[in-house]
Structure 1
Amino acid sequence: MKKLLPIAAILLLSLPVACSGQSAPASVKPGIYRAFLKTRGGELPFGLDIQPTAGDSKGYTVFVLNGNERLPMDPSTVQDDSIRIPMALFESELVAKIEDKTLRGVWRRRRVGQQVQSLPFEATHGLTYRFKVSDKPATGNLSGKWATELGSKTGKVDTVNAVGIFDQKGNHLAGTFLTPTGDYRYLDGNVDGDSLFLSCFDGSHVYLFKAKHNPATKTLTGGLWAGVSGYESWAARFDPKADLPDPAKLTYLKPESKTLNVAFPEPNGKVVSLTDPRFKDKVTIVQILGSWCPNCMDETNFLSPWYKRNKQRGIEVLGLAFERSPEMAVSGPKIERMKQRFKIDYPIALAGTNDKAQASKALPDLNAVVAFPTTIIIDKKGKVRHIHTGFSGPGTGKYYDQYVDEFNRLIDKLVSE
């Protein structure tokens, strides 16, 4: 449940991050840090790589490390005895006091208006492990696919609403969960005896998974701590054939609609519509997204450079952003920050709020907006040919590769028509 911080805590967001009156700023020891947030479920660990920024005596370049992911944070600065590591796209930041090889402070994230969420944060230089493990041998290898019920009330898998995909080497475990609306991005962790531990922090996603493994029944039962106060139990059973509903059948054009009719303003005030000349006789990809959505950012990280390579083939892209606020004065700058971060060349219009029911009303030609992101592919004649709900990002490995391959094959076919 979201809590409204006291006025003093809110005002802290606009104050300098200094914790003392030092005459010269402290310096951060460069290198790898083992960082963690203190959650209700215990330590939620992740990695940080902090390096001085060339030519800036107070600046640092910071990457968050989750398994194979090196996620760049925004330019970070030191003032007096503290470092501030922002992720402006998600209105999120780490702020910590520098204590030799240790950073101690807080992670905070603005939600709506003056609502702010926060968790204690700590990081230690030179440590590279994720979760502490004992000398207990793993009770089994968890590699493979697991039929999963997130939110299981019984400790059993009565309804498959996710598929866990894991890769275990020794006591190291990596993977993610696929769901009908997207994935849980890069999860990284360890196996200790019969216990599973996985975590992810990316400035927006804050996930801590724990579970017990029963090798006799090939099952997992545990808990998921999400964000500041979210919790749900989960269960999984090993199943190499575990699968999810076809993402091409969840969202569709209503039978009475012939095409997708949209007309929404860009941050500069210009209204963009699929009837505009730039889309005429071109294969067009409509991306339903939000700047607040990490899975949307994974898709954008693919789509933006892909568009640069392919736009000369008669291809266009239109982004429809559904943000937390319907006001352009609030959401317009967030859209522009997103465009700058991912070097987006195609237009992105503010289409409404990120409430799925409201998004569905904004796009009445669709049966519903089930997920952010959703990708709609339209042929040269304006006919909707394919709608893909959700997105399997690079953290899903072969599932991401499969999506990219199928996407390219379909676009090639439509371009040649």
Structure 2
Amino acid sequence: MNRRNMLYGAAAAIAGVAGASVAWWKFQPHSVEAAAPAEAGLVGSAGNASDSFWSLSFDTPDGKNLSMSSFRGKVLLVNFWATWCPPCVEELPLLDYFFQENKEKNLQVLGLAVDQPSAVRTWLQARPLHFPVGMAGLGGTELSKSLGNIAGGLPFSVVFSATGELLHRKIGKVLPEDLAQWARLQ
């Protein structure tokens, strides 16, 4: 009887450690190369999603249509964010500065808000951004998953080449060194 309890206890401890490890890994920032999706654990249809991405369009906060095909021919950094996501709003000033410094260099930044349109409009009135923002809504989570964000977490960024090829994915907050690397992709 005592031996059985010890085995159950050991099995529960192993399961608990495994679960905690997976949870820890899931919520850590990850940067992966799109060129090696199998190695990064991102096997799936990211290539097909990358192709279909260019046929999408989103409303802007002021109600205009924003077509993804209009960004072809430029290196495009797409950042999925939400007003309720602290790391997202922390990185937006850095992304805005990066855009302003690089917009003349054939590099474009696009924010896709995975949020309620009214919340995004209110947030942008207080903290305007110089790069375009598309209203992806809750569908933005599925779009980010199709581009390799398996967990659907925010913030999530992808970088496309000027020819539309998916080059990089980053789960978690963007760092200055990420932006420096991406700026060299010209």
Calculate the TM-score normalised by the size of structure 2.
Answer: 0.71
- The reply to whether residue 382 of structure 1 matches residue 154 of structure 2 is no
1:269–1:406 distance in 2 versus 1, CA, 3 Å: closer
Q: Any stretches of 5+ residues in structure 2 without a counterpart?
A: 1-11, 33-39
Partner of 2:21: 160
Rounded to whole Å, the distance in 2 between the matches of 1:359 and 1:251 is 18
What is the SS of the residue equivalent to 1:377?
A: strand
Q: Residue 348 of structure 1: which of 102, 110, 133 is its match?
A: 133
Does the CA-based 8 Å contact 1:300-1:342 persist in structure 2?
Answer: no
What is the SS of the residue equivalent to 2:152?
A: coil
- The reply to whether residue 406 of structure 1 matches residue 182 of structure 2 is no
The residue identity in structure 1 corresponding to 2:117 is: G
The residue identity in structure 1 corresponding to 2:65 is: V
Rounded to whole Å, the distance in 1 between the matches of 2:140 and 2:47 is 19
Partner of 1:58: none
What is the SS of the residue equivalent to 1:371?
A: coil
Partner of 1:332: 117
- The reply to whether residue 291 of structure 1 matches residue 83 of structure 2 is yes
Identity %: 21
1:332–1:264 distance in 2 versus 1, CA, 3 Å: same
Calculate the TM-score normalised by the size of structure 1.
Answer: 0.34
1:314–1:301 distance in 2 versus 1, CA, 3 Å: same
Does the CA-based 8 Å contact 2:91-2:173 persist in structure 1?
Answer: yes
Does the CA-based 8 Å contact 2:61-2:134 persist in structure 1?
Answer: yes
Structure 1 or 2: larger strand share?
1
- The reply to whether residue 366 of structure 1 matches residue 147 of structure 2 is yes
Rounded to whole Å, the distance in 1 between the matches of 2:90 and 2:181 is 20
What is the SS of the residue equivalent to 2:62?
A: coil
Rounded to whole Å, the distance in 2 between the matches of 1:251 and 1:267 is 32
Residue 270 of structure 1 deviates from its aligned partner by 1.1
Residue 304 of structure 1 deviates from its aligned partner by 1.3
1:181–1:344 distance in 2 versus 1, CA, 3 Å: farther
Partner of 1:281: 73
Rounded to whole Å, the distance in 1 between the matches of 2:42 and 2:122 is 29
Does the CA-based 8 Å contact 1:266-1:349 persist in structure 2?
Answer: yes
Rounded to whole Å, the distance in 2 between the matches of 1:366 and 1:267 is 23
Does the CA-based 8 Å contact 1:360-1:369 persist in structure 2?
Answer: no
Residue 342 of structure 1 deviates from its aligned partner by 3.6
Instruction: Please list, as runs of the form range in 1=range in 2, the aligned pairs for 1:106-255 lying within 5 A after superposition.
Output: 154=13, 157-158=17-18, 159-161=20-22, 180-182=26-28, 246-248=30-32, 249=40, 254-255=46-47
Partner of 1:303: 95
The residue identity in structure 2 corresponding to 1:388 is: K
Residue 285 of structure 1 deviates from its aligned partner by 0.6
What is the SS of the residue equivalent to 2:178?
A: helix
Does the CA-based 8 Å contact 1:181-1:372 persist in structure 2?
Answer: no
Residue 267 of structure 1 deviates from its aligned partner by 1.9
The residue identity in structure 1 corresponding to 2:21 is: V
The residue identity in structure 1 corresponding to 2:74 is: K
The residue identity in structure 1 corresponding to 2:180 is: N
Rounded to whole Å, the distance in 1 between the matches of 2:134 and 2:41 is 24
Which has the greater radius of gyration?
1
Residue 387 of structure 1 deviates from its aligned partner by 1.0
Rounded to whole Å, the distance in 2 between the matches of 1:294 and 1:161 is 22
Q: Residue 271 of structure 1: which of 62, 65, 68 is its match?
A: 65
Residue 320 of structure 1 deviates from its aligned partner by 1.0
Structure 1 or 2: larger helix share?
2
Residue 180 of structure 1 deviates from its aligned partner by 3.5
Q: Any stretches of 5+ residues in structure 1 without a counterpart?
A: 1-152, 164-178, 184-245, 324-330, 393-402
1:268–1:251 distance in 2 versus 1, CA, 3 Å: farther
What is the SS of the residue equivalent to 2:136?
A: strand
1:256–1:382 distance in 2 versus 1, CA, 3 Å: closer
Rounded to whole Å, the distance in 2 between the matches of 1:338 and 1:388 is 24
Does the CA-based 8 Å contact 2:144-2:156 persist in structure 1?
Answer: no
Does the CA-based 8 Å contact 2:77-2:108 persist in structure 1?
Answer: yes
